[in-house]
Each structure stands twice: as structure tokens, then as C-alpha cells.
Amino acid sequence: MQGFSFGGIMLTIKHIEEMFKLQEQLEVHISGPDWRKYRHDYRLCIHMECAEIIDHMGWKHWKDVNAEPNWDMIAMELVDVWHFALAHFLMHRMTAKVLYDDLIEAQSECTNPKVNMVQACVGMGYSMFMNDLFPLGNFAIACDLAGMDFDQLYVLYISKNVLNRFRQDHGYKEGMYMKSWAGKEDNEHLMELCKELKDELTADKLYFQLALRYKLAGH
């Protein structure tokens, strides 16, 4: 099967097609089949997700100066960026083949990157918000710096897609859903369940376990 290696996994157009399909389904779930007509501002979404990644880097020189970066949360924020990037690509009718070719080109920028995580995210957010262009090179560098290969990105994307659907099913859009329960953010519950399920992870199993935890937390 034709493809190229991204962190040891052979990325193919089929992987991209599957993610496009799931993202399309999520957008329809949130806004209906005509979601494109609402022109949601994915530029701002990505810009703000990049700011959240920077916050997890412990950049403040006046607060928690010895704090280590929260790499698990950084990985999840990068997956959030990828969700909005896919929605942006779908909005502009990008094909899986075009994205595949662009990712091949972006992969070369991971070799001896000359920027750190903060710089990569600042550049990513700025390019998206000011120029309406998602810099795949910056994103690939950020994933590489976070130690996240394509296998992890792909699995975490599928997992976060389940969480986003779970949120919508439990009143997120209406402001009824609580993102923090049982003393943790739902992203943390998601990461724990991904590690627990490991090779047995499927979308259905993950959704069921999230629902179970949420119910046990009194919701």
C-alpha cells in the first residue's frame, strides 16, 4: 500500500479519508448537514488552541517556574488543533489526496527543527488567524516535539472525536455538560481510558466507558 512513514506508521490516504469522514459527521452532529453555510471561525479556534498548548508549557517566569510541561495535555490540545484543521480543510473542500501530498512535504520540516514548541505554536496560531493558512510544517514539528507520532495522533484523534460526540450528546452545546467531573477534566478521563483499553480500544468501547464514568460521577 502506498504511503509514507510518519513516526513509524505508514500514513495512507485511507487514514486521511477516515478522519475526514469522522470530522464531517461531527460537524453535522453539531450544526446540521448545512454546517458550511455558518462559516464557523476555525482560524480563531486553532489560534486559541495554540495558546492553550503554550499555557501547558509552563512559560510564565513569575509563576511555577519549575513546572514541567504537561505533555499528555499538550498531546490532547494538538489533537484539538487537528480537529479544527480538518474542519477548515473540509470547509474549503480539500481532498484527502491534496492533504496527503501536503503532509509529505511537511514531514521534511521535522528534521532538525529550528524552533521550540512555543515558537511552533505562536507561528501556527498567527498563520492561521492572520493568513487563513494552516501551516502543516509547524504542526508536524509540534507533534514531533511532543513525542507524538502518527499512530498516536491517529488513535488520539479517533478517541477525541468520541469525546466530542459524547459532549454533544450530553448537552455541551446547550451549556449543560460539565467538562470536569470526579475531580478531573474529561480530557484526563479520556487519556486514562485510552491507556486502560490499549489494543482493545474501539470507538464504541470508549464511548461506553466514558458514559459509565460520567454516570458514576453523578451525572
Please list the residues that pair with 10 across neighbouring strands: 5
Residues 6+ apart with CB under 8 A from 196: 209
| pLDDT tens digits along 77-89 | 999 999 999 999 9
Instruction: Provide the CATH number for the domain around residue 103.
Output: 1.10.4010.10
Please list the residues that pair with 180 across neighbouring strands: 185
Other CB atoms within 10 A of residue 32 CB: 10
Give the pLDDT score at 155: 83
**Could you list the residue range(s) of the whole structural domain that residue 170 is in?**
4-216
Place of cell 484539538: 80
Q: Which three cell numbers stand for residue 48?
A: 486559541
Task: Name the stretches of the chain with pLDDT < 70.
Answer: 1-10, 112
Give the pLDDT score at 118: 95
Alpha helices in the chain (DSSP H): 13-31, 42-55, 71-91, 96-107, 117-131, 136-145, 150-169, 186-197, 203-216
Give the pLDDT score at 105: 85
Tell me how far CA of residue 26 lies from CA of 8, 71, 83, in angstroms: 28, 26, 10
What count of Cα atoms within 13 Å lies in the side-chain half-sphere of residue 109? 17
Mean of all residue pLDDT scores within the chain: 89
Which residue type, as a one-letter code, is found at position 191?
A: M
Instruction: Look at the pTM and tell me if it is higher than 0.75.
Output: yes
Q: How far apart are CA 95 and CA 8, in angstroms?
A: 24
Residues 6+ apart with CB under 8 A from 192: none
Q: How far apart are CA 2 and CA 34, in angstroms?
A: 34
Give the pLDDT score at 10: 66
Q: How far apart are CA 25 and CA 90, in angstroms?
A: 11
Give the pLDDT score at 8: 47
- What DSSP element (H or E) covers 9? strand 9-11
Split into its structural domains, the chain has a count of 1
Give the pLDDT score at 1: 30
Where b means 16+ CB within 10 Å and e means fewer, 187-218 reads bebbbebbeeeeeebeeeebbebbeebbeeee
